[in-house]
Amino acid sequence: MLSGLNQFFVRGRRLRMVLSTGALILGPLAIARGATLQSGGSTLLVNPDSAVMNYSWLVDGMDQFGGSPKGQESFFFSVGDAGPQSLSALTHNVIYNSGGVLTVGYTDPGEFTLVLSDNLAGGSTNAALTELLSFNNTSGATLNLHVFQYANFNADGAGNDNTLSLSGLPTNTADQTDTMGDHVNVAADSPDEYQIANDSSVYMKVTAPTFEPLSDNSTGPITGNTSFGFEWDPAIGVGGSYQISITESVTAQCHAVPLPVAGYGALATLGGIAGIAAIRRARRLIA
């Protein structure tokens, strides 16, 4: 039997009941794997071994890749006309992971090396992630490289009620919001191509068996389970290098949700039961 109810509140879309005998939290649970970046009130989970690279980003307690269907951010590449592959297909190792910093080294033998650096800066209701991809051509010839960023954010952990639009000249900025006012902004170094969708078409393009450029189809806005892709197509000279810098920011809202009248009645009932039980125990002790 519950010995007492200490606290009951609703925050965002999560319902939390904290009991004197323990805590019950209703919400999605993330399975820890790969690398963890932590800064302020933000935690980013990254798995360099998976095609789903960034799979959980907690800001103010809400997972910006959460909800259903679950979101992600990942990078893909192709050389020439070959089909895109995930960075996880390359030989790779974690060079450094501490606090809000992660550095991963990648090698495509006879083609290129890559260093991917993540830097997370978190606050109480906001966070920013800077991603820097540094490529070096080791092929001995001009390297015709294609790099794709695929992003399927779920602002405030909501998978199907987001609005996405692109902007910039050239198009290099994505803004995504949910109906509660949470906001995700992604600003990238001058992509060559872009594509947005509220279906799986962007993901299918960046995982296709042969290279096909993103379609520059629309800048939106579109709504639903939204996603976008940015593409870079550098021709890197012999022994040359190429960098891509991406800055992502999240601004979360704390949404107060009034407790239904029926909920107050349930609380009163629980409190009454606990009180009666306490009185009965006291009487038995006196007797």
Residue 22 burial (C-beta neighbours within 10 Å; 0-12, 13-18, 19+): exposed
What's this model's pTM, rounded to 2 decimal places? 0.78
On whether residue 20 sits in a domain, the answer given is no
pLDDT tens per residue across span 225-265: 999 999 999 999 999 999 999 999 999 886 444 445 454 45
On whether residue 179 sits in a domain, the answer given is yes
On whether residue 1 sits in a domain, the answer given is no
CATH number at residue 120: 2.70.98.40
Q: Is the dihedral of CA 61, 175, 148, 160 positive or negative?
A: positive
Residue with tokens 């490529």: 135
On whether residue 197 sits in a domain, the answer given is yes
Token reading at 13: 């879309």
pLDDT band at 135 (very low <50, low <70, confident <90, very high): very high
Which pLDDT score, from 0 to 100, does residue 15 have?
A: 34
Residue with tokens 């593409």: 231
* Paired strand residues for 8: 17
Report how many domains make up the chain: 1
* Paired strand residues for 136: 113, 241
Question: How many Cα atoms are found within 13 Å in the side-chain-facing hemisphere of 20?
Answer: 8
pLDDT band at 94 (very low <50, low <70, confident <90, very high): very high
Residue 239: count other Cβ atoms within 10 Å of its Cβ. 10
What range defines the domain where residue 110 resides?
Answer: 33-251
pLDDT tens per residue across span 10-34: 334 333 333 333 333 333 333 335 8
pLDDT tens per residue across span 137-184: 999 999 999 999 999 999 988 778 899 999 999 999 999 999 888 999
d(CA 103, CA 94): 6
On whether residue 221 sits in a domain, the answer given is yes
